[in-house]
Structure 1
Amino acid sequence: MTIAAEPLAPVDPDTFRALLRRQAASVAVVTVAGDPPVGFTATSFTSVSLRPPLVSFCLARSSSSWPTAARATYVAVHLLGEDQQDIARTFATSGIDRFAAHPGWRYGPYGVPLLDEPVARLLCRVTQRVPAGDHAIVLAEPLSGSHGDGAPLLYHMGRYAALRPSTKES
């Protein structure tokens, strides 16, 4: 016996947003050399491949950061710590000079701005940009990296959050 399935349509944008708010995501700030430099908060950062090492993040092509990111050869990805919510908010705010609002940075290799004291930092070479709906997926190869201590900053249900140590013993 065959059961016919009704054709399904993609979920609407509001439902899609409501569903994905339930996914906890790490919070990163991506910085790009430019005149002026740009930076933005991203919760779409992920590892892609081990061989070769590749990472990705997504950026709206309507973003004020996109024209610079669309031309960039190098970017830095900063994974923020639980105590860096203010940095995440600053780099998520549109219409401001984000680097003037956050003085804790310096220029690094290739003129890429490097934020002070993230949980982890990767300096990357952009290898590909893939159009995806109203965004672009940026693939990049890490060239160098460093990490510190501390718990990561997460984004969940429209709010910043941190990991809490388990009270259960393993």
Structure 2
Amino acid sequence: MGSEFDEVAAATDPAMVVVTTAVGGERAGCLVGFHSQSSIDPPRYAIWLSRANHTYGLALRAEYLAIHFLGEDQLPLSVRFGTLTGDRTDKFAGLAVEDGPGGVPVLTDVPRHLLVRRVALLDEGGDHVCLSTEPVAVRHGSGFVPLRLSACDELDPGHAHDDRRSRADAQGTVSEDPGAR
């Protein structure tokens, strides 16, 4: 079933986003292909982060995140946030960044983004964990054509999907309620 499932999933060719977050002055960001609106009323947006990513560990402790919708002309950002690891690299070096809520880094050269607050976490044991979020601010530009997964197929990720060396996993379970921290 694996290869057949992979073919069906790949045919959807999802838009790519960069998710950023910050906690205690530490910033992180990663390229994400698993994301979707998940409720109309109240508005919710879900993102699935790989356990292997540095961003995952920080996002578990963060209250706020930014979801940047990449345009088809922003492949270099997908390369930066999809192939480098925040364990060893400052992915934000040299980029235009402003602080959002909770110090979340907002990539100012990406005209479409959501600033969101984490409201729930779903961890059903897979290699990705779902964060349900509520939008607190929205920025959009015109003439948007999304960067698709098919344009990023040749990227080598900073961590393999089965690399679960996350610092957050080593720290144990994190509360689903960001206000409980």
Q: Which residue of 2 aligns with 1:56?
A: 46
Q: Take 1:64 and 1:17, find their aligned partners in 2: how far apart are those partners?
A: 25
Contact 1:119–1:152 (Cα < 8 Å) also in 2: no
Bigger share in helix:
2
Instruction: Indicate which of 13, 25, 28 corresponds to 2:14.
Output: 25
Instruction: Output the TM-score relative to the length of structure 1.
Output: 0.79
Contact 2:99–2:106 (Cα < 8 Å) also in 1: yes
Question: In terms of Rg, which structure is larger?
Answer: 1
Q: CA deviation at 1:29?
A: 0.6
Matched to 2:14, the amino acid is A
Query: How many residues of Structure 1 are paired with residues of Structure 2 in the alignment?
Result: 148
Unaligned 5+ residue runs, structure 2? 155-181
Q: CA deviation at 1:117?
A: 3.1
Q: What value does the CA root-mean-square deviation take over the aligned residues? A: 1.9
Q: Which residue of 1 aligns with 2:32?
A: 42
Matched to 1:144, the amino acid is A
Contact 2:30–2:53 (Cα < 8 Å) also in 1: no
Bigger share in strand:
1
2:65 equivalent to 1:75? yes
Query: Structure 1 residues 16 and 97 mapped into 2: Cα distance closer, same or farther (>3 Å)?
Result: farther
Unaligned 5+ residue runs, structure 1? 1-10, 161-170
Contact 2:15–2:148 (Cα < 8 Å) also in 1: yes
Query: Structure 1 residues 157 and 99 mapped into 2: Cα distance closer, same or farther (>3 Å)?
Result: closer
Q: Take 1:126 and 1:78, find their aligned partners in 2: how far apart are those partners?
A: 16
Q: Deviations over 1:25-68 (max 9, x none)?
A: 11111110134200011111210111000000101122222110
Per the alignment, in what secondary structure is the counterpart of residue 29 of structure 1? strand
Matched to 2:63, the amino acid is T
> What is the percentage of aligned positions where both structures have the same residue?
31
